[in-house]
Structure 1
Amino acid sequence: MVAWALSAVLFAAQADADGTFGPSSVKRGVLLVASPTLGDPNFRESVVLIVEHGEEGTLGVILNRPTEVLLSEVLPDIAALKGTRYQLFAGGPVQPAQLLMLFRLKEPQAYARSVFDGVYVGGTPEILERVIRQPKPTETFKAFAGSAGWAPGQLAYEMHQGAWAVLAPDAAGIFDRKPSTLWRDCLDRLQAPRAIGY
Protein backbone atom coordinates (compact mmCIF):
# COMPACT_ATOMS: atom_id res chain seq x y z
CA MET A 1 0.00 0.00 0.00
CA VAL A 2 2.92 2.34 0.69
CA ALA A 3 4.14 1.92 -2.90
CA TRP A 4 0.68 2.70 -4.25
CA ALA A 5 0.38 5.76 -2.03
CA LEU A 6 3.77 6.97 -3.27
CA SER A 7 2.66 6.33 -6.85
CA ALA A 8 -0.47 8.40 -6.28
CA VAL A 9 1.72 11.29 -5.08
CA LEU A 10 3.94 10.91 -8.16
CA PHE A 11 0.92 10.96 -10.46
CA ALA A 12 -0.40 14.11 -8.81
CA ALA A 13 3.03 15.76 -8.99
CA GLN A 14 3.37 14.87 -12.65
CA ALA A 15 -0.07 16.22 -13.45
CA ASP A 16 0.71 19.49 -11.68
CA ALA A 17 4.21 20.02 -13.06
CA ASP A 18 4.80 22.64 -15.70
CA GLY A 19 6.00 21.29 -19.05
CA THR A 20 8.36 18.37 -18.75
CA PHE A 21 6.23 16.10 -16.58
CA GLY A 22 2.76 17.25 -17.59
CA PRO A 23 0.47 16.89 -20.59
CA SER A 24 3.00 18.63 -22.86
CA SER A 25 5.27 15.58 -22.51
CA VAL A 26 2.73 13.42 -24.37
CA LYS A 27 3.90 12.57 -27.88
CA ARG A 28 4.11 9.60 -30.20
CA GLY A 29 6.04 6.75 -28.57
CA VAL A 30 5.57 7.52 -24.88
CA LEU A 31 3.85 5.21 -22.43
CA LEU A 32 0.83 6.33 -20.44
CA VAL A 33 0.58 4.58 -17.09
CA ALA A 34 -2.82 4.52 -15.40
CA SER A 35 -2.96 5.90 -11.88
CA PRO A 36 -3.77 3.37 -9.14
CA THR A 37 -6.87 5.47 -8.48
CA LEU A 38 -8.16 5.37 -12.08
CA GLY A 39 -11.52 3.61 -11.84
CA ASP A 40 -12.56 3.40 -15.51
CA PRO A 41 -12.76 -0.37 -16.20
CA ASN A 42 -11.51 0.22 -19.76
CA PHE A 43 -8.22 1.58 -18.42
CA ARG A 44 -7.80 0.28 -14.87
CA GLU A 45 -4.16 -0.77 -14.30
CA SER A 46 -3.39 -0.21 -17.99
CA VAL A 47 -0.26 0.80 -19.86
CA VAL A 48 -0.92 2.57 -23.16
CA LEU A 49 1.57 3.16 -25.97
CA ILE A 50 0.81 6.40 -27.81
CA VAL A 51 1.03 5.80 -31.57
CA GLU A 52 -0.40 9.16 -32.75
CA HIS A 53 -0.67 12.55 -31.05
CA GLY A 54 -1.57 15.88 -32.58
CA GLU A 55 -4.17 18.60 -33.02
CA GLU A 56 -6.86 16.06 -33.92
CA GLY A 57 -6.39 14.06 -30.74
CA THR A 58 -4.46 11.09 -29.42
CA LEU A 59 -4.43 7.41 -30.36
CA GLY A 60 -2.83 4.55 -28.48
CA VAL A 61 -3.04 0.84 -27.72
CA ILE A 62 -3.35 -0.83 -24.34
CA LEU A 63 -0.33 -3.11 -24.02
CA ASN A 64 -1.37 -5.32 -21.12
CA ARG A 65 -4.78 -6.75 -22.08
CA PRO A 66 -4.19 -10.17 -23.68
CA THR A 67 -7.30 -12.03 -24.81
CA GLU A 68 -8.03 -15.74 -25.17
CA VAL A 69 -8.26 -15.28 -28.95
CA LEU A 70 -5.42 -16.48 -31.16
CA LEU A 71 -4.28 -14.32 -34.07
CA SER A 72 -4.54 -17.36 -36.35
CA GLU A 73 -8.30 -17.35 -35.71
CA VAL A 74 -8.60 -13.69 -36.70
CA LEU A 75 -6.34 -13.94 -39.77
CA PRO A 76 -6.96 -17.47 -41.11
CA ASP A 77 -5.72 -16.55 -44.60
CA ILE A 78 -2.16 -15.91 -43.40
CA ALA A 79 -0.53 -19.32 -43.81
CA ALA A 80 2.41 -18.52 -41.54
CA LEU A 81 0.05 -18.17 -38.57
CA LYS A 82 -1.36 -21.69 -38.86
CA GLY A 83 -0.50 -23.70 -35.76
CA THR A 84 1.00 -20.68 -33.93
CA ARG A 85 -0.03 -19.44 -30.47
CA TYR A 86 0.22 -15.66 -30.96
CA GLN A 87 -2.38 -13.99 -28.76
CA LEU A 88 -4.61 -11.12 -29.79
CA PHE A 89 -4.55 -8.17 -27.39
CA ALA A 90 -7.49 -5.88 -26.60
CA GLY A 91 -6.04 -2.52 -27.65
CA GLY A 92 -8.88 -0.40 -26.31
CA PRO A 93 -12.58 0.41 -26.57
CA VAL A 94 -12.38 2.39 -29.83
CA GLN A 95 -13.23 0.41 -32.99
CA PRO A 96 -12.77 -3.02 -31.34
CA ALA A 97 -13.25 -4.80 -34.69
CA GLN A 98 -10.25 -3.00 -36.21
CA LEU A 99 -6.89 -4.83 -36.13
CA LEU A 100 -3.74 -2.84 -35.39
CA MET A 101 -0.24 -4.33 -35.69
CA LEU A 102 2.81 -3.26 -33.72
CA PHE A 103 6.23 -4.44 -34.92
CA ARG A 104 9.76 -4.32 -33.56
CA LEU A 105 11.91 -4.27 -36.70
CA LYS A 106 15.59 -3.83 -37.43
CA GLU A 107 14.92 -1.65 -40.47
CA PRO A 108 12.04 0.57 -41.64
CA GLN A 109 9.43 -1.15 -43.80
CA ALA A 110 6.87 0.07 -46.33
CA TYR A 111 3.48 0.95 -44.87
CA ALA A 112 4.83 0.80 -41.31
CA ARG A 113 5.02 4.12 -39.45
CA SER A 114 7.73 4.67 -36.84
CA VAL A 115 6.42 5.08 -33.29
CA PHE A 116 9.86 5.29 -31.71
CA ASP A 117 13.28 3.78 -32.36
CA GLY A 118 12.76 0.34 -33.93
CA VAL A 119 9.03 0.12 -33.14
CA TYR A 120 6.47 0.56 -35.92
CA VAL A 121 2.69 0.57 -36.26
CA GLY A 122 0.92 -0.68 -39.38
CA GLY A 123 2.72 -2.84 -41.89
CA THR A 124 1.50 -5.43 -44.36
CA PRO A 125 0.64 -9.16 -44.31
CA GLU A 126 3.97 -9.73 -46.08
CA ILE A 127 5.90 -8.15 -43.18
CA LEU A 128 3.95 -10.28 -40.71
CA GLU A 129 4.66 -13.48 -42.65
CA ARG A 130 8.38 -12.67 -42.92
CA VAL A 131 8.71 -11.98 -39.18
CA ILE A 132 6.99 -15.30 -38.41
CA ARG A 133 8.80 -17.43 -41.00
CA GLN A 134 12.25 -15.86 -40.58
CA PRO A 135 12.42 -15.08 -36.86
CA LYS A 136 15.22 -12.84 -35.62
CA PRO A 137 15.99 -11.89 -32.01
CA THR A 138 15.57 -8.22 -32.91
CA GLU A 139 12.18 -8.61 -34.63
CA THR A 140 8.75 -9.47 -33.27
CA PHE A 141 5.16 -8.21 -33.27
CA LYS A 142 1.91 -7.87 -31.34
CA ALA A 143 -1.63 -7.60 -32.69
CA PHE A 144 -4.37 -5.49 -31.11
CA ALA A 145 -8.13 -5.42 -31.57
CA GLY A 146 -9.27 -1.85 -31.11
CA SER A 147 -7.44 1.16 -29.74
CA ALA A 148 -7.60 3.89 -27.12
CA GLY A 149 -8.54 7.36 -28.31
CA TRP A 150 -8.84 10.85 -26.85
CA ALA A 151 -10.40 13.93 -28.43
CA PRO A 152 -8.33 17.14 -28.51
CA GLY A 153 -7.77 18.33 -24.94
CA GLN A 154 -9.32 15.24 -23.35
CA LEU A 155 -6.07 13.53 -22.41
CA ALA A 156 -4.58 16.77 -21.05
CA TYR A 157 -7.66 17.16 -18.84
CA GLU A 158 -7.33 13.58 -17.57
CA MET A 159 -3.65 14.13 -16.83
CA HIS A 160 -4.41 17.30 -14.88
CA GLN A 161 -6.82 15.15 -12.86
CA GLY A 162 -3.93 12.78 -12.06
CA ALA A 163 -5.31 9.86 -14.09
CA TRP A 164 -2.13 9.23 -16.09
CA ALA A 165 1.64 9.52 -15.85
CA VAL A 166 4.11 9.50 -18.73
CA LEU A 167 7.11 7.20 -19.14
CA ALA A 168 9.76 7.17 -21.85
CA PRO A 169 9.29 4.43 -24.46
CA ASP A 170 10.63 0.98 -23.71
CA ALA A 171 10.65 -1.70 -26.44
CA ALA A 172 11.43 -4.43 -23.92
CA GLY A 173 8.36 -3.48 -21.91
CA ILE A 174 6.17 -3.62 -24.99
CA PHE A 175 7.35 -6.92 -26.43
CA ASP A 176 9.24 -8.86 -23.76
CA ARG A 177 7.69 -8.26 -20.35
CA LYS A 178 4.70 -10.22 -19.11
CA PRO A 179 1.45 -8.29 -19.59
CA SER A 180 0.37 -9.37 -16.11
CA THR A 181 3.27 -7.48 -14.48
CA LEU A 182 3.76 -4.60 -16.95
CA TRP A 183 1.64 -2.06 -15.05
CA ARG A 184 3.41 -2.72 -11.73
CA ASP A 185 6.79 -2.65 -13.51
CA CYS A 186 5.89 0.79 -14.85
CA LEU A 187 4.88 1.99 -11.38
CA ASP A 188 8.32 0.91 -10.18
CA ARG A 189 9.93 2.88 -13.02
CA LEU A 190 7.90 5.94 -12.04
CA GLN A 191 9.43 5.79 -8.57
CA ALA A 192 12.97 5.63 -9.96
CA PRO A 193 14.89 8.93 -10.19
CA ARG A 194 14.45 10.80 -13.48
CA ALA A 195 11.99 8.21 -14.83
CA ILE A 196 9.20 10.71 -15.27
CA GLY A 197 8.78 12.56 -18.51
CA TYR A 198 10.45 12.15 -21.87
Structure 2
Amino acid sequence: MELTPAELTPAELTVLGLLVERPQHGYDLEQVIERRGIRQWTDIGFSSIYYLLTKLEQRGLLHVPEAPAATRSRRVFHATDDGRAAAARAALAYIAGARPVPHPVLVGLANLSLLPADGYARALRTRLTQLDARTAAVREAERAQAPLPLAAREVFSYSLGLMEAERQWLAERVRVNGDRQD
Protein backbone atom coordinates (compact mmCIF):
# COMPACT_ATOMS: atom_id res chain seq x y z
CA MET A 1 0.00 0.00 0.00
CA GLU A 2 1.54 3.28 -1.14
CA LEU A 3 0.77 6.24 1.10
CA THR A 4 1.89 9.82 0.79
CA PRO A 5 2.78 11.74 3.95
CA ALA A 6 -0.37 13.84 3.56
CA GLU A 7 -2.44 10.69 3.99
CA LEU A 8 -1.50 10.52 7.67
CA THR A 9 -2.93 13.24 9.84
CA PRO A 10 -0.82 14.46 12.76
CA ALA A 11 -3.04 12.43 15.14
CA GLU A 12 -2.69 9.28 13.01
CA LEU A 13 1.07 9.69 12.75
CA THR A 14 1.36 10.26 16.49
CA VAL A 15 -0.54 7.08 17.36
CA LEU A 16 1.20 5.05 14.68
CA GLY A 17 4.59 6.37 15.78
CA LEU A 18 3.95 5.36 19.38
CA LEU A 19 3.10 1.85 18.17
CA VAL A 20 6.26 1.72 16.06
CA GLU A 21 8.16 2.51 19.28
CA ARG A 22 6.42 -0.32 21.11
CA PRO A 23 3.32 -2.47 20.51
CA GLN A 24 0.65 -1.59 23.06
CA HIS A 25 -3.07 -1.43 23.67
CA GLY A 26 -5.27 1.65 23.72
CA TYR A 27 -5.04 2.24 27.44
CA ASP A 28 -1.23 2.12 27.30
CA LEU A 29 -1.34 4.67 24.48
CA GLU A 30 -3.50 6.95 26.62
CA GLN A 31 -0.96 6.73 29.44
CA VAL A 32 1.97 7.58 27.13
CA ILE A 33 0.04 10.46 25.55
CA GLU A 34 -0.78 11.85 28.98
CA ARG A 35 2.70 11.33 30.45
CA ARG A 36 4.51 12.95 27.52
CA GLY A 37 2.12 15.89 27.31
CA ILE A 38 1.23 15.05 23.71
CA ARG A 39 -2.12 16.80 23.99
CA GLN A 40 -0.22 20.07 24.30
CA TRP A 41 0.60 19.87 20.58
CA THR A 42 -1.93 17.54 18.96
CA ASP A 43 -5.67 16.90 19.05
CA ILE A 44 -5.91 13.36 20.36
CA GLY A 45 -8.71 12.97 22.86
CA PHE A 46 -9.06 9.82 24.94
CA SER A 47 -12.18 8.88 23.01
CA SER A 48 -10.44 9.26 19.64
CA ILE A 49 -7.62 6.79 20.38
CA TYR A 50 -9.71 3.71 19.55
CA TYR A 51 -11.16 5.43 16.49
CA LEU A 52 -7.62 6.11 15.22
CA LEU A 53 -6.51 2.55 16.02
CA THR A 54 -9.44 1.11 14.08
CA LYS A 55 -8.82 3.43 11.14
CA LEU A 56 -5.09 2.57 11.00
CA GLU A 57 -5.85 -1.14 11.33
CA GLN A 58 -8.38 -0.99 8.48
CA ARG A 59 -5.74 0.67 6.29
CA GLY A 60 -3.29 -2.15 6.97
CA LEU A 61 -0.89 0.01 8.97
CA LEU A 62 -1.55 -1.87 12.23
CA HIS A 63 -2.41 -5.44 13.08
CA VAL A 64 -3.45 -7.30 16.19
CA PRO A 65 -2.02 -10.79 16.57
CA GLU A 66 -4.71 -13.30 17.45
CA ALA A 67 -5.00 -13.77 21.18
CA PRO A 68 -7.45 -16.16 22.82
CA ALA A 69 -10.48 -14.40 24.32
CA ALA A 70 -8.83 -10.98 24.29
CA THR A 71 -11.25 -8.20 25.08
CA ARG A 72 -11.39 -5.35 22.61
CA SER A 73 -9.77 -2.89 25.04
CA ARG A 74 -6.84 -5.24 25.73
CA ARG A 75 -5.97 -5.86 22.08
CA VAL A 76 -2.27 -5.14 21.59
CA PHE A 77 -1.66 -3.24 18.37
CA HIS A 78 1.50 -3.71 16.32
CA ALA A 79 2.71 -1.57 13.43
CA THR A 80 2.94 -3.45 10.13
CA ASP A 81 5.84 -3.02 7.73
CA ASP A 82 3.59 -0.74 5.65
CA GLY A 83 2.76 1.18 8.83
CA ARG A 84 6.44 1.66 9.70
CA ALA A 85 7.21 2.86 6.17
CA ALA A 86 4.21 5.23 6.06
CA ALA A 87 5.09 6.64 9.48
CA ALA A 88 8.71 7.24 8.44
CA ARG A 89 7.67 9.01 5.22
CA ALA A 90 5.11 11.15 7.01
CA ALA A 91 7.51 12.04 9.83
CA LEU A 92 10.13 13.19 7.32
CA ALA A 93 7.54 15.24 5.45
CA TYR A 94 6.28 16.89 8.65
CA ILE A 95 9.83 17.70 9.81
CA ALA A 96 11.04 19.01 6.45
CA GLY A 97 7.93 20.96 5.45
CA ALA A 98 7.72 24.46 6.86
CA ARG A 99 4.01 25.13 6.97
CA PRO A 100 2.09 28.04 8.44
CA VAL A 101 0.53 27.10 11.75
CA PRO A 102 -2.74 28.78 12.68
CA HIS A 103 -2.38 30.35 16.09
CA PRO A 104 -5.28 32.01 17.94
CA VAL A 105 -3.03 34.74 19.36
CA LEU A 106 -2.56 36.01 15.81
CA VAL A 107 -6.31 36.54 15.51
CA GLY A 108 -6.23 38.63 18.66
CA LEU A 109 -3.22 40.63 17.46
CA ALA A 110 -4.88 41.28 14.11
CA ASN A 111 -7.70 42.96 16.03
CA LEU A 112 -5.66 45.25 18.28
CA SER A 113 -7.58 48.27 17.03
CA LEU A 114 -10.53 47.01 19.09
CA LEU A 115 -8.61 47.12 22.38
CA PRO A 116 -7.53 49.89 24.68
CA ALA A 117 -3.75 50.05 25.24
CA ASP A 118 -4.05 49.11 28.92
CA GLY A 119 -6.23 46.10 28.06
CA TYR A 120 -3.64 44.90 25.54
CA ALA A 121 -0.79 45.38 28.04
CA ARG A 122 -2.76 43.48 30.70
CA ALA A 123 -3.49 40.62 28.26
CA LEU A 124 0.23 40.40 27.39
CA ARG A 125 1.19 40.19 31.08
CA THR A 126 -1.48 37.52 31.68
CA ARG A 127 -0.23 35.48 28.73
CA LEU A 128 3.37 35.82 29.94
CA THR A 129 2.41 34.55 33.40
CA GLN A 130 0.51 31.61 31.90
CA LEU A 131 3.41 30.81 29.56
CA ASP A 132 5.88 30.81 32.47
CA ALA A 133 3.67 28.36 34.37
CA ARG A 134 3.26 26.13 31.31
CA THR A 135 7.00 26.17 30.63
CA ALA A 136 7.70 25.13 34.22
CA ALA A 137 5.16 22.29 33.92
CA VAL A 138 6.71 21.06 30.66
CA ARG A 139 10.22 21.17 32.15
CA GLU A 140 8.98 19.19 35.17
CA ALA A 141 7.27 16.61 32.95
CA GLU A 142 10.50 16.23 30.99
CA ARG A 143 12.57 15.77 34.16
CA ALA A 144 10.10 13.31 35.69
CA GLN A 145 10.30 10.99 32.67
CA ALA A 146 14.05 10.92 32.13
CA PRO A 147 15.54 9.07 30.41
CA LEU A 148 13.32 9.65 27.39
CA PRO A 149 13.51 8.15 23.90
CA LEU A 150 15.10 10.46 21.31
CA ALA A 151 11.74 11.36 19.76
CA ALA A 152 10.30 12.49 23.10
CA ARG A 153 13.48 14.44 23.95
CA GLU A 154 13.26 16.27 20.62
CA VAL A 155 9.58 17.10 21.11
CA PHE A 156 10.32 18.53 24.55
CA SER A 157 13.33 20.44 23.20
CA TYR A 158 11.38 21.95 20.30
CA SER A 159 8.36 22.78 22.49
CA LEU A 160 10.54 24.47 25.08
CA GLY A 161 12.38 26.37 22.34
CA LEU A 162 9.09 27.70 20.97
CA MET A 163 7.95 28.68 24.45
CA GLU A 164 11.23 30.49 25.12
CA ALA A 165 10.94 32.39 21.81
CA GLU A 166 7.37 33.38 22.67
CA ARG A 167 8.48 34.37 26.16
CA GLN A 168 11.15 36.67 24.75
CA TRP A 169 8.63 38.26 22.38
CA LEU A 170 6.06 38.68 25.16
CA ALA A 171 8.58 40.18 27.60
CA GLU A 172 9.60 42.75 24.96
CA ARG A 173 5.97 43.58 24.13
CA VAL A 174 5.08 43.90 27.83
CA ARG A 175 7.98 46.34 28.28
CA VAL A 176 7.11 48.39 25.18
CA ASN A 177 3.36 48.46 25.84
CA GLY A 178 3.79 49.15 29.53
CA ASP A 179 5.70 52.32 28.60
CA ARG A 180 3.13 53.50 26.02
CA GLN A 181 0.92 56.45 26.78
CA ASP A 182 -1.87 55.95 24.22
Structure richer in helix, relative to its length = 2
**Coarse TM-score class (shorter-chain normalised):** under 0.3
TM-score with structure 2 length normalisation?
0.22
Structure richer in strand, relative to its length = 1
TM-score with structure 1 length normalisation?
0.20
**Higher RCO, Cα 8 Å, sep 6+:** 1
Rg comparison, structure with higher value: 2
